[in-house]
Amino acid sequence: MEFFARLKDYCDILGPSGMEDLVRERIIADIKDSGAEYEVDALGNLIVFKKGKQRRDKKLLVAAHMDEVGFMVTYVGEDGYIMFAPVGGIDPRVVSGRRLVFCKNGIKGVVASKAIHIQKPSEYGMCEPISEMNIDIGCYDRETASQFAKIGDCAAFCPNYEEFGNGLIKSKALDDRFGCALMVDMINSELEYDTYFAFNTCEEIGCDGAAEVCYRIRPDIAVILESTTAGDIYGTPEGKRACELHKGAVISHMDGGTIYDKELVALALNVGKEEEIPCQLKNIVAGGNEASAFQKGAMGARVLAISAPTRYIHSACCVAAKEDLISVGKLARAIIERNI
């Protein structure tokens, strides 16, 4: 399957943290004929070993997470409206008025929001917290609504993959289904060296899946494929943009959870230069990913993150440039083809 067709397929699957089963099943279907060995652990992580032409001196693992941000039902009201909590870090400004779909039964809903012409003056320009929002599924009493949504049920933003503009993609769950799609392409190809791959669960709520993989595989080096916040939007000073679309794969020195291995950062930049793969350095310290779990877990690992610059991350409409996703794939492939 062509990469962007696979990416759309993966992004359209519903898989908030703790509900990655459908994503994992689709990935297994896509790699089952690759000749790779794979297993699913108790936390739902999919761990893959692909034998290469040669054995590595050190154990290398490439990782991406299967889960996306989402929402969990916390209460069903007498009036049929549903209260909920975020699953993962979601800005309330990107939630109000959005269309959601429940993972268990496909029921659609809209996050209720008060129209501006009935707001009080004190409410103008204010975004209510998620704890005060409700989902409207079209029911008018608790008894009816409870047939479709119960406490603990999860929902996600409605699938909406679309290509637009100058080579851009917008979709829910680009973080991190694009990393999953890249790893599937690698697994389905011939590799120079033995390589482990991990499709992790629950990254959005604390990297629980990656922590388990670290203890199980104990890699010497972990390369994380991930999305990272691009700030190239109107009004953001150039020095605070973190990274920008159309400028290639993003390499970080440090984020909210990790100081990355200096030698691996230098290697990534040198490989990018040698192979003429566009790269950029992330210029603010923010965010985080599974690298922290691999760096701190078991005996520790040297870590590197190769990220795709993504606008409006953790929203219903994450935006990335196709050329940047290609650059991330090329750089990751060029690095794992070396015996580092």
Domain range enclosing 64: 3-68+172-336
The structure's pTM equals 0.94
* Cβ–Cβ under 8 Å, residues 227 and 270: no
User: From the candidates 20, 203, 204, 226, which is the catalytic residue?
Assistant: 203
Q: Is 78 a catalytic residue?
A: no
DSSP states along 41-90:
-TT--EEEEE--SB--SS-EEEEEE--B-EEEEEEE-TTS-EEEEEES--
Residues 35 and 122 placed together within one structural domain of the fold: no
Residues 196 and 148 placed together within one structural domain of the fold: no
Q: What's 260's domain CATH number?
A: 3.40.630.10
Residue owning tokens 């794979």: 38
Closest CA to 24 of 169, 197, 163: 197
In a domain, 163, yes or no: no
Q: Cα separations (Å) of 89 from 6, 60, 306?
A: 26, 29, 21
Q: What's 137's domain CATH number?
A: 2.40.30.40
Residues 306 and 243 placed together within one structural domain of the fold: yes
Q: What is the pLDDT along the chain (340 residues), one digit of tens a residue?
A: 699 999 999 999 999 999 999 999 999 999 999 999 999 999 999 999 999 999 999 999 999 999 999 999 999 999 999 999 999 999 999 999 999 999 999 999 999 877 777 777 777 777 888 998 999 999 999 999 999 999 999 999 999 999 999 999 999 999 999 999 999 999 999 999 999 999 999 999 999 999 999 999 999 999 999 999 998 888 788 777 889 999 999 999 998 889 999 999 999 999 999 999 999 999 888 888 999 999 998 889 999 999 999 999 999 999 999 999 999 999 999 999 999 8
The two tokens of residue 312 are 């409006």
Residues 58 and 178 placed together within one structural domain of the fold: yes
Residues 116 and 39 placed together within one structural domain of the fold: no
In a domain, 320, yes or no: yes
